[in-house]
Structure 1
Amino acid sequence: MNDAGTIHSPAVTTGNAIDFWAAKPLEALGGDYGRLRCRFINAHPVGSWDDFVLSEWTLDSCAWEDFHPHSETAFVLEGELHIESQGKTVVLRPGDSARVNPGGVGRYWAPVYARMVTIYGPNPEGLESHSFKYSEV
């Protein structure tokens, strides 16, 4: 901590007035997940969690699909994101957000490019996501 009281440590600080998570680079998932890039910010969504899980991710002319037992809210920072779930589709542009509610498959795609912040809702029972599918647009 410096004289102004600013935290510069990469460590997570918990149980205090402020929880801090140092920046990490977006990483290409590679392999079967091609041009999808992601970074989890405050926690990795494994097992159960009672709070939210925050992530940043990009799609570059590709699509991602999965079933999740928790809500997933996407907030678009750049580009254009299409989301389809249970027969309904929305198109999001910078500043727009949408939530895919728990218990369904969400399909997310960017015809050109999209950068998003995503919030996973609580998953206190630790139910697993599944039916992962990546494709190029």
Structure 2
Amino acid sequence: MTKPTLSTLPTSMPTMGKAIDSWQAQPMAPMQKEWPRMRCRFVNGEPVGAWNDCLLSEWELERCGWEDFHPHTETAFVIAGELHIECDGESVILGPGDSARVNPGRTGRYSAPVYARMLTTYGPNPDGLESHSFRYFEI
């Protein structure tokens, strides 16, 4: 079997629409006014309803944590600090450059005893099932 090259790929490849999608930077903000130690920004869409792509977000946790059930995968990539993740009796501690995924249909618990900054991807979530059982806590 011959490995495809750019010149051998079909010219009628399906696209998502435009050649490039882009989003203007938004500031990180607390998820809720009552939760000032947990800040985030969703980059390429909000995790509401159905979506067939992955959603990208950026988070900062300072001496706090978050727990929720989600029907989609959630992958965290740590940029700075130390992130603790627990799910179904398993736990990991991640540092800069480390990543972990909580698989769909589970409750993930994310915490930073001091500080953590991470990028996350959600999804896809083609059936539009909702996350629930949200719980914020301070350390």
- The verdict on a shared fold, with TM-score over 0.5 as the criterion, is yes
Q: Equivalences for 1:87-126 in 2 at 5 Å?
A: 87-126=89-128
1:67 aligns with: 69
Letter in 2 for 1:30: Q
Aligned-residue sequence identity (percent) comes to 65
CA deviations on 1:63-86 (whole Å, 9 max, x unpaired) are 100000000000000100000000
1:35 aligns with: 37
TM-score norm. by structure 2 comes to 0.86
How many residues are matched? 124
**Aligned Cα root-mean-square deviation (Å):** 1.1
TM-score norm. by structure 1 comes to 0.87
Gaps of 5+ in 1: 1-13
Q: Equivalences for 1:14-53 in 2 at 5 Å?
A: 15-53=17-55
Q: CA deviation at 1:133?
A: 0.3
Runs of 4+ in 1 over 3 A off after TM superposition: none
Q: CA deviation at 1:31?
A: 3.2
Maintained 8 Å contact 1:75/1:96: yes
The structure 1 residue matched to 2:136, chosen from 119, 131, 134, is: 134
> Greater CA radius of gyration, 1 or 2?
2
Letter in 2 for 1:39: R
Maintained 8 Å contact 1:29/1:35: no
Gaps of 5+ in 2: 1-15
